[in-house]
Amino acid sequence: MTKDLTLSFHGAARTVTGSCMEFCHAGKRILVDCGLFQGSRTLETLNRTPFAFDAKRVDAVVLTHAHIDHCGLLPRLVAEGFAGDIWCTEQTAALLEYMLADAGRIQEGDAARRNRRKDRADLPDILPIYTEQDALAAWKQTREIAREEWFEPVPGFKARLWNAGHILGSASVELVIDETRILCSGDLGPKHKAFYADPESPAGFDHVICEATYGDRTREDITIAERRTLLEAEIKAALARGGNLIIPVFALERTQELLLDLAALMETKRIASIPVFIDSPLANRATSVFAKYADTLEDLNGENIFRNTAFHFVDATAESIRLNSVSGAIILAASGMCEAGRIRHHLKHNLFKRDATILFVGFQAEGTLGRVILDGAERVRIWGEDIVVRAQIRRIDSYSAHADQTDLIAWMEARRPIAGSLFLGHGEAASIDTLRQFASAKGIASSVVVPELGETYHLAAGQPARRTKTGDPHLQEAIGRDWQNSYADFASNLKRELAQIEDTRSRERAVADMRKVLDSYKHARTEQAFRRRAH
């Protein structure tokens, strides 16, 4: 039995979702996070591929926070035989009950909806990755631990959680394994974020794994008061157009921050007390957890601002459908990247309207519908239907729950000295590469590593990490924009572009040429199959 300490990256390497790190030593193994991949259909297929480890042989999970890209595969892990504890803060455990159950319902609903599509009539049924029952079984394995309190998730592994300032209950994870000291940042919040103190943790590590979501950008350093002024301007402009203001939100944190600001703007009469519909059962449940911990949160002073009479929490599906006929309202709906949930219905019913406004207040990962819209698509495809984009598309960056480049560098500097390696993950390629250049130039660590999906590293005290297994190219190919994004864009605009060709005969030739291209690929596949049989 080897006693070598190894670290393997099973997610969030050159991508911002699917966080999952595996630490192995002396026959024991723990995971830090076990998150869902979110983005293109190709990237989401990784949620169905076999785990790179045996779930039954995982001894424990230490969870940084309750966002689905960090916890969303826990139900599958448990369903496949993981029987250990899931260690997390009290607030994270409270949120997980709702977050995981909702994720299970989404998996079941998404599978059922896709199976009903006419273009899938001759294809096998899609099964959900896991069910609501699986999700609740995973939640029951949580074990609460206070921040800054040492615990042993398994013998030989000491751990301690520190405030990450990202969302309610979020934590960075300090590990001491075989005298090697490691820090996993988790997701870090920016300075002066609503509700929480700034991120904190000790200094002096052998190895640090740091997120890099906004490693390539520096946001304007604005106060909460200044942020409210930006929101006020967007609301007034949207309502002046006469249509709805649709805000895609993450049910956890972004919703509550927006409600905090909306309540403040209404109380000071800067905006009228117009109806605000929070159309997300999950957001409504998460808000109840925030209310429970109101006395521990900055900016609330123990007050439940979520009881504002202008706020209408929508649970029933029928009530959500009735919002299709509403005009001149503010509608907050999940999911934040427009990949699932009720926001897709509101986009379908509002994107084509010139008087509507879509306001993005969160990060949009490459390959997501939100990113496609934000990048200026003229048409998008929602549930197989082409939707023209006529609505005003707006963005406010200052609501991010993630540290920007300046914050990340300051956080890394404060962790020095780093005797071994600094790993940069949880970011797209451009963000990570930019942050790597800054970290190297500042000498934050002599070894700066950018891991790939599937890579394994040997870790030792005071020494740079040594790669012992290369990544899987097939996993890495799933990252970023995929052929289905390109297909949706192509199909959405095809009819209009054909109509712009000058005459009917030329249009026929264009269609025939496209058919020839597809036939050439079919012919190539037939040839390859023939050669394989011949050999």
Residue 296 sits in a domain whose CATH number is 3.40.50.10890
Residue 366 lies in a domain: yes
Boundaries of domain holding 505? 482-512
177 and 265 housed in the same domain: no
Predicted local distance difference test score (pLDDT) of residue 38: 87
188 and 328 housed in the same domain: no
Residue 520 lies in a domain: no
Which regions of 385-487 does DSSP assign to beta strands (E)? Answer: 385-388, 392-395, 418-425, 445-449, 456-460, 463-469
Burial, 404: exposed, middle or buried (Cβ in 10 Å; 0-12, 13-18, 19+)?
buried
Predicted local distance difference test score (pLDDT) of residue 308: 92
* DSSP letters for 434-448: HHHHHHHHTTSEEEE
342 and 412 housed in the same domain: no
Tokens linked to 292 = 């429970």
172 and 213 housed in the same domain: yes
What DSSP state is assigned to residue 309? T
In the sheet with 60-62, reading across from the earlier edge strand, the strands are: 142-144, 85-88, 60-62, 28-32, 21-25, 5-9, 456-460, 463-469
Q: Work out how many domains the chain is built from and give that number.
A: 3
Dihedral of alpha carbons 161, 165, 170, 175, sign? negative
Residue 521 lies in a domain: no
Alpha carbon 61 to its chain's center: 19
Residue 528 lies in a domain: no
Nearest to 427, CA basis, from 69, 50, 28: 69
Q: What is the CATH number of the domain that holds 458?
A: 3.60.15.10
46 and 174 housed in the same domain: yes
258 and 196 housed in the same domain: no
What is the C-alpha separation between 410 and 20, in angstroms, rounded? 25
CB 237 within 8 A of CB 415: no
230 and 121 housed in the same domain: no
pLDDT per 10-residue tile (average), the chain, 535 residues: 84 94 97 92 89 97 97 98 98 97 91 84 90 97 98 97 97 97 97 91 98 92 91 97 96 94 95 95 94 89 84 95 94 91 94 97 87 94 91 92 94 97 96 96 96 97 96 73 60 71 82 82 67 61
Burial, 348: exposed, middle or buried (Cβ in 10 Å; 0-12, 13-18, 19+)?
middle
What is the C-alpha separation between 125 and 504, in angstroms, rounded? 40
Q: State the CB neighbour count (10 A cutoff) for residue 384.
A: 12
